[in-house]
Amino acid sequence: MMHLAPLLLAATLTAPAPGVGERALTLTVDGERIPAALDLPDRSPAKGAVLIVPGAFNSDVDGNYPNQSFYPHTYADIARGLAACGYATLRYAKDGEGSGTTIDDAAAGERHHTFAERIVVARAALQALHEVSGDAPLAVAGHSEGGLVATLLAAQDPNVRALIELEAPGRPILDLVQRQALAAIDGSEQTGAVSPQAAIVEKGLFAQVIAGVRLGVNPPPNVLGDPLIARYFGKPIGVELAYLREEDRIDPARAIAGVRQPVLIVEGAADNVVPAEDAMHLNLARVSLRLPTMLKMLPGDQHYYKRVPPETTPLATMHLEGETDPAVVQTLAEWLSATVSAAAPR
């Protein structure tokens, strides 16, 4: 079930750009209360309505990560920017500690431990957006892991007129985790933190760990304690590994080939979390089938669309908290303007 807090009584979260109204909502889905925010242009009707699906980890409604003391605010920036361009937007928090979500029904809330529940929550959020945006054409924009969620939702829901992939993975999740780990080991080797011989050993051990996880074997404690890996484990280890195995069975490139609506892929060329090659995998999966697709690369942008200053270390690159690149909203708004009116429901 889903519950919308009364819109007229909802508190304003901040003061967005002139001509934009922002209201707090609560989505109640399978025993969990999920903070959400709706941004509406003052002019009516909206040109379109965009659902922003959050990525992995425990993000709050604005796309911040209080548990990691990291505040990129990217989802709020994109939502408010699109609303200023005439689009209704809805964003919501990701399940987990520190995100503002709360459990009202513990038994029902167990469903949120599965990857499949992410599509259930996204569908509920899309319905909430539809109820307040009327006949505005619907688009779904997913960031990072949320890109896969958005892909699966778009493939299932003919009411979705367009799909936007924001730094979305183009390979199964455990392949991506392994790639991230190997890149981190390479970085340690380049700085002299580990020797070339030790780097070879670490890479081999990590490959064994990934293979073991796929077979149902838990990683050893020293791997779970690695800062890069620990980010994936905000819940008990058994819960998180089951979630990762479930998600890992889905190939994002194959999934996006099943989406018949127009797709926009927006990738920061300096992303060291989901690399540019993943965006290219997604793009190739579609253009090889002659499906309507646009790939936009943003030079110098990292995973949260922050411009990376020269000589920034990889770790510092990941944790930038400044301005979100305005080119993201501009790209989305221009593509939506040219696309949603022409994207007929299937």
* Per-domain boundaries in the chain: 7-172+250-339, 174-248
The whole-number pLDDT of residue 342 equals 45
Mean pLDDT (10-residue bins), the chain, 346 residues:
36 60 95 96 88 95 93 97 95 93 91 95 97 93 98 96 98 91 80 84 83 83 63 69 93 98 97 95 98 97 96 86 96 96 45
Amino acid letter, 168: A
Q: Which two tokens stand for residue 80?
A: 């408010």
Closest CA to 88 of 14, 160, 37: 37
User: pTM of the predicted model, to two decimals?
Assistant: 0.89
Which residues touch 179 (CB under 8 Å, ≥6 apart)? Answer: 171, 275
The whole-number pLDDT of residue 309 equals 93
What are the DSSP calls for 305-318, one per residue? SBBPPTT--HHHHH
* Positions of E strands within the chain: 20-29, 32-41, 48-53, 87-92, 102-103, 138-143, 160-166, 263-268, 293-298
> Using CA atoms, how far apart are residues 187 and 314, in angstroms rounded to an integer?
8
Q: Which two tokens stand for residue 205?
A: 């051990």
The CB density around residue 239, as the number of other CB atoms within 10 Å, is 15
Q: What CATH superfamily classification does 7-172+250-339 receive?
A: Alpha/Beta hydrolase fold, catalytic domain (3.40.50.1820)
> Using CA atoms, how far apart are residues 112 and 31, in angstroms rounded to an integer?
9
The whole-number pLDDT of residue 2 equals 43
Q: Which two tokens stand for residue 326?
A: 């305005």
The whole-number pLDDT of residue 26 equals 96
Cα–Cα distances (Å) from 294 to 262, 286, 327, in that order, read: 8, 10, 15
The whole-number pLDDT of residue 3 equals 41
263-268 and 160-166 as β-strands: parallel, antiparallel, unpaired? parallel
Q: Tokens 């892991």 sit at which residue?
A: 145
DSSP type of residue 258: T
> Using CA atoms, how far apart are residues 75 and 191, in angstroms rounded to an integer?
33
